[in-house]
Amino acid sequence: MLLLLLLLQLLLLLLLLLQLLILLLLLLLLLLLLLLLLLLLQLLNCCFCCCCYCCCCYFFCCCYCCCCCSCCCFCYCCY
C-alpha cells in the first residue's frame, strides 16, 4: 500500500514536471514569435542595403562600406 502511494506521488510529480516543461516551451515559442514579428515589422519599415566602395591612389587603397535602412544608400569614399 505504501509502495502504491509512493508510485502515485511520483507519477503526480512527473505530471507536474511535464506541465512545467510544456509551459516553458509555450513561453519560449511565444517569445520566438514575438521576435519574429518584430523582425518582420523592421523589415517592412526598412529596405536594408549595404554598399562598399574602394578608392586607390598609387599603392594606397581605402575601402569604405556602409549599411543603411534605406533603399538609397549613399556611401562616400575617403580620399
Distance CA 75, CA 64 (A): 8
Question: pLDDT band for position 78 (50/70/90)?
Answer: very low
Mean residue pLDDT across the chain: 79
| Least-confidence region, from 8-12, 23-27, 66-70 | 66-70
| 76 pLDDT higher than 80 | no
Give residue limits of the domains in the chain: 14-68
**50, 55, 52: which is closest to 71 by C-alpha?**
50
pTM over 0.85: no
The tens digit of pLDDT for each residue in 22-49 reads 999 999 999 999 999 888 777 666 555 6
| Cell reading at 63 | 575601402
| Cell reading at 16 | 507536474
